[in-house]
A = this chain, B = another copy of it.
Amino acid sequence: MAERKRRLVAGELRDAALMLLATKGFDTVTVDDIVAVAGVSRRTFFRYFASKEDVVVRFLADMGASVVAELAARPRAEPPSAALRHAVWVPLAACTDRADHTERARIVVRLILDTPALHARWLDRQSRWCDALAAELAARHRLDPDTDPYPRMAAGMAMLALDTVLRQWQPGADEQRLAELTDQAFAVVAPALDTPGAPEPPP
């Protein structure tokens, strides 16, 4: 009950922030501007979001947990390239579930890629997903994550593919188009992901 109100305020704040940031740019909009539109106090803003960057980055934060969860759900027999492609595709497809949601997601992506401060935060978050992905991959293939570079690099290549897709995301692109871009990106890294030697655990 109080939980629903929290969600309401957070949504209000997020919508106000995204609207202002997307139109006026990240640096010119202050937190005071955002709270003025949302109708709450400055202090309340920082109770919901750790920083100005956080409002935007959190919008895409679910992707991280999703990617790791999806990878864990894939059958172990599947080659790494296919498993990672699926893991990355699920949250990407979730961006295009409704047409209105799609365009907003694309605008947020563009804002992040074009704003240095946001881009830095985005990369930082991505690198955390990378850690989790690497741990999952190491467990999947029974590799030592401290000495074997494969898990971390494979996770990094998956993130690289995700990044490449988001960068090439043009206005008006639908789910079909995103799927094509994802396939292209993974086609590039697949030879490294599925290279023999590391991935096959000795029975």
Contacts and interface: CB of A to CB of B under 8 A. Distances in A.
Interface in A93-137: 116, 119-121, 123-124, 127
Total copies of the chain: 2
Given A119-B127, A191-B195, A192-B192, A153 B149 contact: no
A30 B198 CA distance: 46
Contacts of A121: 120
A116 B124 contact: yes
What size tier do the contact residues of chain A reach? 20 to 34
A161 interface: yes
Given A124-B120, A188-B192, A161 B153 contact: yes
Given A188-B195, A192-B188, A156 B160 contact: yes
A18 interface: no
A153 B188 contact: yes
Interface of A: 116, 119-121, 123-124, 127, 149-150, 152-154, 156-157, 160-161, 163-164, 167-168, 181, 184-185, 188-193, 195, 198
25 contacts: A116-B124, A119-B124, A120-B121, A120-B123, A149-B168, A149-B185, A150-B188, A152-B167, A153-B185, A153-B188, A154-B188, A156-B156, A156-B157, A156-B160, A156-B164, A157-B157, A157-B192, A160-B160, A188-B198, A189-B192, A190-B192, A191-B191, A191-B192, A191-B195, A192-B193
